[in-house]
Amino acid sequence: MRAKKWLVIITFDIAILALVGMFLCFFMFKNFYEIWYDIWLAVFGGATLGFIMSLIEYYAEKRSSMERFYVEALSSANAFSNVECLIINEPIELIKNCIHEEDTNKQYRKMSENLSTKEIDDMGWKIEDKARTAMISFLCNEKGMSIEELESQQLNELYNEKIIQCREKLHKCLDSYLKILDCSLLGDLSNAIGNLDFIFS
């Protein structure tokens, strides 16, 4: 569309220049009137014809670009409407701490398999359960129970069930965000926007 736009502008400018040249020849350079007037008249006629044709092509290209932009915008809107929202009733900071604590403890256990207790102590590695304890306390309060009323296995099941649910929700949410970042989707929309190069906004 940019090429069609500049073709319209250039042919219009040449037509105006030729028209000015015709008037100058007619009123100021009467000695060279016939030759230059004919030349400028020919340039004016060709430029006017080119301007009309390029203007028709410009509006046809403009319509096509607007249709493509509309289609790509609808496609992007549909993709954004399918984004999974992260809806968690528990405090986000508590969930984040629990997931981080679990992943860190898992990494520590894996890395310390071939190390002695002394080496582990020297590195300062320690299995933490502060976030887990806080989450269990929160879940018990939410259900109107105290930690002492439940057995250790029940507490573990309660905690693991909640963390698994939160992880699944988080993964679905992240997967939907990654789909939005697909280069083909945003690239097509960006190209469609880039083609909207109008003479007048």
Structure tokens at 174: 């992240």
What does the pLDDT read at residue 114?
Answer: 66
Q: Which long-range contacts (CB under 8 A, 24 or more apart) does 159-163 make?
A: 159/132, 159/135, 162/90, 162/135, 163/95, 163/98, 163/99, 163/102, 163/135
Amino acid identity for residue 191 in this structure: N
Ranges of the chain with pLDDT below 70: 1, 29-34, 111-127, 146-151, 182-195, 200-201
Work out the burial of residue 98: count CB atoms within 10 Å of its CB; fewer than 13 is exposed, 13-18 middle, 19 or more buried. buried
**pLDDT tens, 112-129?**
666 666 565 656 556 677
What does the pLDDT read at residue 149?
Answer: 63
What does the pLDDT read at residue 157?
Answer: 79
